[in-house]
Amino acid sequence: MSTLPLALTRRRRRSVRHTLDVRVSPYAYVAPFFLLFCAFGLFPLVYTAWVSLHEWTLLSETQEFVGLGNFSALLADAYFWNATFNTLSIGVLSTVPQLALAIWLAHLLNRRLRFQTLFRVSLLLPNVTSVVAVVVIFSQLFGRDFGMINWVLSWFGVGNIDWAAGTATSHLALSVMIMWRWTGYNALIFLAAMQAVPRELYEAATLDGASTFKQLRSITIPMIRPTIVFVVIVSTIGAMQIIAEPMLFGQSSGGGGGIATGGPDRQFQTLALFVYEQGFANSTFDFGYASAASWLMFLAVVVVAGINFLITRRVKGGLV
Amino acid sequence: MRLRYLTLTAVAFFSAFPLYYSVVVASRHNSALAQVPPPLIPGGNFFANVSRVFDTVPFGLALVNSVIVAGSISIAVMFFSTLAGFAFAKLTFRGRNIMLVITVATMMVPAQLGIIPLYMLMVKLEWTGTNYALIVPALVNAFGVFFMTQYLSRALPTELLEAGRVDGCSTWGLFWHVVLPAARPAAAVLGMLTFMSAWNDYFWPLVVLNPDNPTVQVALSTLASGYVNDYVLGLAGTAIGTLPLVAVFALFGKHIIGGIMQGAVKG
């Protein structure tokens, strides 16, 4: 008589525990990610907006609310516009040829090929190399007096170029570094998408006598368009945030100027580097101004990525 | 046909050459840099230059810091990503789909945007100058969660989990006894990718660490900036900071590439 209710509660208790285990424990499993993201991703992001509305420095205890004052000061700051121009210039110079080359390389790798693995590994090798190493190495290669690149160019009668000194030349040098590091990575992502394209399409096209280039244009590119859109957006977001390359190039090319100015004439100071300069390299540690610049940079990222998204989505087949 | 091999070989050459050339310069004396034509084979000065690196910057400390930081981040990312990936791939709970979408969407948020308040947060926590500032924010990330979700939903048979349930396993028991062993191949790739990117991270460590307690990348940038004309020194540091990773990559490159391609397809 008395054991029956006891068994019942025990069973109920067990079923409650089971329900808890099945229904609730999944939230505990995904919680670490969301907690960390809120604390170290989302909170800083939102707080940046708050800081940007203040006269806020590391040195002063009090923060004065200035509304959009930092933003209007920025829009009148010639250095800010210079950094915007440099970011766009380096972004275009490095991204456009890089993605075209990556698609073409992926196309070459997407056949039966000997040494397939060897080629793939060599393509990704630059991506394993750190930014710091890349810039240190390339600063040497791009050296004015004894650099390997000027030496090779001298065979063609080109005089010694001071790569870090000019606007166009420094943008070109930085783009080469960025391309060297990222082309192979993007090629592998394109290759992954290409391998999902049905083989029969190519066989039929070959029977019809279509050249490989025609096949690339009319079959491959339309079939992998979602991946192309994805890579273009990711590359755009990356290109808008370039900072380590110009920072280190300025240091190791020995052109003078501070670490954050991007050359003595700011000829290769990017937006992200401008933010760093205002917030950390500037003696006033002007966090308010730097945060405002961050938000304008974010706005620029969204606008440019949005434009690229619309362009890539509309392009049909004839991307190359 | 032949052109294809020629092109790919040329690309492979250009991928490897800058690294090779950095070793060439790093193994020579400073005077070799002023030679025309430049030297193309390594010299005998490598170890002398490397010991100069250790004399100039706290490189031993930097190596220890980098190993601690990258190692603990990798282990944590493998564990937490598998845990969350298991929940997203195999468990049913309210809001699962929307939470997965949010996870993927956070990959698009530019982290640089929040660097200033993140730094202020670290000042408040008194973590600036310590490895906590590097490790804690990186314990798990959206890419890892997404990567493991994809892998587990494909590679882990649901029947296996049901069988575990019948045997009386709790969800945690399933994770420990069934999911973790099954996730091992993908988790290893994720761990290597995470280790590499943590090892190579530069900007955040530069902001939040002191130059006298650096990671490898911060120490390298000190070498490159403070000793502008001493390219040999800079490149010797670069070589010892980079070559271990390149060696690991040469050994496991095939798996790492497979992982990148898998993780990226559906992006």
ipTM of the complex: 0.90
A320 pLDDT higher than 50 = no
Q: How far is the alpha carbon of B34 from chain A, nearest alpha carbon, in Å?
A: 6
Q: Which of B137, B199, B260 faces A36 most closely, judged by CB atoms?
A: B137
Alpha-carbon separation of residue A280 from A268, A289, A292, B58, B152 (angstroms): 18, 11, 14, 23, 43
Q: Are B73 and B144 in contact (CB under 8 A)?
A: no
Instruction: Provide the pLDDT for residue A18.
Output: 79
Residue B122's contacts (CB-CB under 8 Å, 6 or more residues apart) are B128, B133, B208
Residue A11 has pLDDT above 80, yes or no: no
Residue B49 pLDDT > 60, yes or no? yes
Check whether B219 has a pLDDT greater than 50. yes
Q: What is the 8-class DSSP label of residue A158?
A: P
Which residue has tokens 């845990």? B83
Contact residues, B window 85-124, toward A, CB-based 8 Å cutoff: 86-88, 91-93, 96, 99, 103, 106, 108-121
Mean pLDDT of the B136-158 span: 94
pLDDT recorded at residue A319: 43
pLDDT for A313 = 80
- pLDDT tier, B226 (very low <50, low <70, confident <90, very high otherwise): low
Contacts made by residues A274-280, CB under 8 angstroms, sequence distance 24+: A274/A79, A274/A80, A274/A83, A275/B112, A275/B115, A275/B116, A276/A243, A276/A247, A276/B207, A279/B115, A279/B116, A279/B119, A280/B119, A280/B207
Reference A173, options A278, A232, A252, A80; nearest CA is A252
In terms of pLDDT, which residue wins out, B92 or B229?
B92
Is the model's pLDDT at B228 over the cut of 60? no
Q: Do B84 and A131 count as a contact with CB atoms less than 8 A apart? A: no
Digit-coded pLDDT (tens) for A181-196: 999 999 999 999 999 8
User: Which residues between 26 and 85 in chain A have a beta carbon less than 8 angstroms from any beta carbon of chain B?
Assistant: 26-27, 29-30, 32-34, 36-37, 39-41, 43-45, 47-48, 51
Mean pLDDT throughout A68-83?
Answer: 95
Spatial distance between the Cα atoms of A55 and A70, rounded to a whole number of angstroms: 8
Tell me how far apart the terminal alpha carbons of chain A are, to the nearest angstrom: 84
The whole-number pLDDT of residue A174 equals 97
DSSP secondary structure letter of residue B209: S
Asked if B11's CB is within 8 angstroms of A123's CB, the reply is yes
Record: contact A259-B264, CB cut-off 8 A: no
Percent of chain A scored above 70 by pLDDT? 94
Q: Where residue A159 falls among pLDDT bands split at 50, 70, 90?
A: confident
Structure tokens at A196: 């999902």
What's the token pair of residue A76?
A: 């009148």
- pLDDT, tens digit, for every residue of A23-45? 889 999 999 999 999 999 999 99
Q: What is the pLDDT of residue A318?
A: 46
Tell me the average pLDDT across A53-67: 85
pTM score of the predicted model: 0.91
Tell me which residue has tokens 């039966």: A112
pLDDT band at B3 (very low <50, low <70, confident <90, very high): confident
Interface test with A, best of B96, B106, B113 (most A CBs within 10 A): B113
User: For residue A320, what are its two tokens?
Assistant: 């190359």
Residue B242's Cβ-side half-sphere holds a number of Cα atoms within 13 Å equal to 27
Which residues of chain A have a CB within 8 Å of the CB of B134?
none
Q: From the CB of residue B165, how many other CB atoms can be counted at a distance below 10 Å?
A: 15
Give the containing element (helix H, strand E) for B67. Answer: helix B59-90
C-alpha B46/C-alpha A227 separation (Å) is 44
Nearest Cα to A275, choosing from A79, A26, A73, A16?
Answer: A79
Share of chain A above pLDDT 90, in %: 59
The C-alpha R_g of chain A, in whole angstroms, comes to: 27
The residue-averaged pLDDT of A124-132 equals 93
Dihedral sign for Cα A91, A92, A98, A100, please: positive
Tell if the CB–CB gap between A33 and B141 is shorter than 8 Å: yes
Q: pLDDT at position A5, please?
A: 62
pLDDT tens profile A216-254: 888 999 999 989 998 999 899 999 999 999 999 988 776
Per-residue pLDDT, averaged over A157-182, amounts to 94
* Assigned token pair, B189: 């790739």
Amino acid letter, B197: S
pLDDT reported for residue A56: 87
Residue of chain B with shortest Cα separation from A45? B114
Per-residue model confidence (pLDDT) at position B229? 67
SS (H, E, C) A263-303: CCCCCCCCHHHHHHHHHHHCCCCEHHHHHHHHHHHHHHHHH
Whether pLDDT at A285 is above 90: no
Provide the mean pLDDT of chain B: 90
Enumerate residues 6+ apart whose C-beta is below 8 A from A310.
none
Tell me which residue has tokens 């049901």.
B162
**How many CA within 13 A on the CB side of residue A15?**
5
Which two tokens mark A123? Answer: 């393509």
The helix/strand/coil state of B58 is coil
pLDDT for position B4 = 87
pLDDT at B160 over 60: yes
Query: Is the confidence at residue A8, as pLDDT, over 80?
Result: no
Size of interface A-B (CB pairs under 8 A): 276
Mean pLDDT of A54-78: 89
